[in-house]
């Protein structure tokens, strides 16, 4: 299936619009429309299948070191391998264009117990078409072969939509359509997405499906969405923390679903909510450097519109019986603890009084929680890599085990939350740890996951994703 330039314009405009393109659709609607791996069972031996894989890995010396994402792909690859498909695995490593997948290809070969050649220089950037040498190498491969394309981010076209606006699309669409059509013609017109963490606007995840005859989700990716991700939609307690204030949008969307009754926050989210609660209750507070206009270019700065958003969240949340728990003291840059931040101070962790409050409120939640209730934990409470600022994160990690022991299903949103559990606890302290924090927040939060929007559009043969 080919896509015209005009259709690509519509496709990309809707992708960039995100939720605004189809505000009525929720995660379950996207998942319900996308075929699973089994839908491709009848493809004959020798069929070339493109696998957008989770290849952003740093393999260590031995299998099991730094290759968890590669191992998550193995079941899907074995599915195709057993059917004699020619599997073309591709994706990115890191954000820098100079990164190479040579070590990743070697490790994947070790996992599959076969040779996985790395196809280099596979795209002609002057024409946005597949290089003849790459097409010939793929065509010459035997049924049951596995090949890997070099880092997709080596090519500008992969990063075309990263910072694009709807106004940019008309001048980008022709090259994107050419790329998608030529990939479908010369590499594969069957596409499997098996890259849970690939939530960016990479062309390999969002544009290529537009020209595919068949698309499907890989087995691991589907199991994460169909299992633990759906469970998290029923979260009763959420722990949200981190430096990025835009997580406030995701928290607001999660609250809007109506199941959450307890919200624990730290980091920039907590600062916004604490300020909002203080102003609503007549107890104004200072957020220190986080509200200093001179620091507006810093990631920890909280603009006034976020405070207003937090006020709206608190008002609506309280009307629904939701309890918001915010820190009551802070560890500042010199490692000391203060009850109230001063204008020249910055919070680097929650203090001991906050930890005590959180533990008390967890107890109150457990006293009311039914067996099987769900809790979702995302982020860490401070700059936990520094021993001076690890106290809040380290102490709360034990509360995850406390909830699990009480029959609550605890899910960790990946990223730093997963790292802190590994550092201070054990994997069996929780029900599940996701390997893709950003994707999980998109899926549970405010915006659709871009690759789910693209896969749904391709599967339903729409002219633009919704």
pLDDT of residue 307: 94
Question: Is residue 463 pLDDT above 60, yes or no?
Answer: no
Q: At what angle do helices 132-140 and 169-186 cross, to 10 degrees?
A: 30
Distances in whole angstroms, Cα of residue 285 to Cα of each of 291, 315, 320 = 11, 18, 25
Q: How far is CA 419 from the centre of its chain?
A: 15
pLDDT reading at 465 higher than 60: no
Q: How many Å separate Cα 430 from the centre of its chain?
A: 19
CA gap 187, 176 in Å, rounded: 16
Q: Give the strand order in the sheet containing 146-149.
A: 118-119, 146-149, 86-90, 48-53, 190-194, 214-217
Average pLDDT, the chain: 93
Residue 25 has pLDDT above 70, yes or no: yes
Q: What CATH class does 233-429 carry?
A: alpha beta
Rounded to whole angstroms, how far apart are CA atoms 188 and 123? 14
| pLDDT of 96 higher than 70 | yes
Residues 138, 189: Cα–Cα separation, whole Å: 13
- Cα–Cα distance between 440 and 20 in angstroms, integer? 19
How far apart are alpha carbons 94 and 115 in whole angstroms? 24
Distance (Å, whole) CA 270 – CA 247: 11
The yes-or-no answer to whether 5-221+448-460 and 233-429 have a common fold is yes
Domain boundaries, the chain: 5-221+448-460, 233-429
**pLDDT over 60 at 184, yes or no:** yes
- Assigned superfamily of 5-221+448-460: Phosphoglycerate kinase, N-terminal domain (3.40.50.1260)
Q: Judge whether residue 8 has pLDDT over 90.
A: yes
Residue 356, token pair as written in the block: 């005590």
pLDDT (tens digit per residue) in 362-404? 999 999 999 899 999 988 898 888 889 999 999 999 999 999 9
Element (H, E) at 263: strand 262-265
Instruction: Give the least confident one: 34-48, 75-89, 226-240.
Output: 226-240
146 strand-pairing partners = 87
Which residue's structure tokens are 């087995």? 219
Beta carbons of 47 and 105 less than 8 angstroms apart: no
Instruction: Using alpha carbons, select from 92, 155, 100 the residue that is nearest to residue 124.
Output: 155
Tell me, what's the pLDDT at 440? Answer: 85
Tokens of 108: 């994947």
* CA contacts within 13 A on the Cβ side of 234: 12
First to last CA, the chain: 19
CA distance 331 to 351: 5
- State mean pLDDT over 222-236: 93
SS3 at position 431: coil
């Amino acid at each position: 299936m080919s896509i015209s330039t005009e259709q690509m314009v519509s496709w990309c405009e809707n992708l960039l619009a995100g939720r605004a393109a189809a505000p009525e659709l929720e995660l379950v609607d996207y998942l319900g429309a996308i075929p699973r791996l089994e839908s491709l069972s009848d493809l004959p031996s020798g069929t070339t299948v493109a696998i957008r894989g989770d290849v952003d890995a740093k393999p260590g010396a031995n299998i099991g070191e730094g290759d968890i994402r590669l191992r998550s792909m193995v079941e899907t690859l074995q599915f195709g391998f057993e059917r004699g498909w020619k599997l073309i695995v591709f994706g990115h490593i890191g954000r820098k264009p100079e990164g190479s997948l040579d070590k990743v290809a070697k490790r994947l070969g070790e996992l599959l117990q076969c040779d996985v050649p790395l196809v280099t220089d596979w795209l002609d950037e002057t024409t946005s078409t597949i290089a003849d040498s790459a097409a010939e190498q793929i065509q010459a491969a035997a049924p049951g072969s596995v090949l890997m394309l070099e880092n997709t981010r080596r090519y500008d076209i992969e990063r075309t939509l990263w910072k694009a606006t709807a106004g940019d699309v008309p001048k980008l669409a022709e090259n994107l359509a050419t790329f998608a059509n030529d990939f479908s013609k010369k590499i594969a017109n069957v596409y499997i997405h098996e890259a849970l963490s690939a939530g960016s606007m990479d062309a390999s995840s969002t544009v290529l499906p537009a020209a595919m005859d068949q698309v499907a989700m890989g087995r691991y990716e589907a199991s994460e969405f169909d299992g633990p991700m759906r469970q998290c939609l029923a979260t009763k307690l959420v722990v949200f923390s981190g430096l990025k204030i835009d997580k406030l949008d995701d928290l607001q969307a999660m609250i809007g679903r109506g199941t959450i009754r307890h919200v624990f926050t730290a980091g920039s989210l907590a600062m916004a909510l604490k300020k909002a609660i203080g102003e609503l209750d007549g107890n104004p507070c200072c957020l220190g450097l986080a509200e200093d206009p001179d620091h507006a270019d810093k990631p920890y700065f909280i603009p006034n519109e976020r405070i207003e958003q937090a006020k709206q969240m608190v008002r609506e949340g309280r009307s629904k019986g939701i309890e918001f728990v915010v820190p009551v003291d802070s560890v500042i840059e010199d490692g000391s603890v203060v009850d109230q931040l001063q204008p020249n101070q910055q919070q680097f962790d929650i203090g001991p009084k906050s930890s005590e409050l959180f533990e008390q409120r967890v107890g109150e939640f457990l006293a009311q929680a039914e067996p099987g209730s769900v809790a979702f934990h995302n982020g860490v409470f401070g700059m936990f890599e520094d021993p001076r600022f690890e106290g809040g994160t380290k102490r709360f990690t034990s509360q995850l085990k406390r909830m699990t022991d009480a029959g609550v299903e605890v899910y960790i949103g990946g990223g730093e939350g997963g790292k802190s559990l590994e550092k201070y606890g054990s994997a069996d302290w929780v029900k599940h740890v996701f390997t893709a924090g950003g994707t999980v927040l998109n899926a549970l939060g405010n915006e659709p996951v871009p690759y789910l929007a693209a896969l749904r559009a391709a599967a339903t043969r729409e002219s633009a994703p919704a």
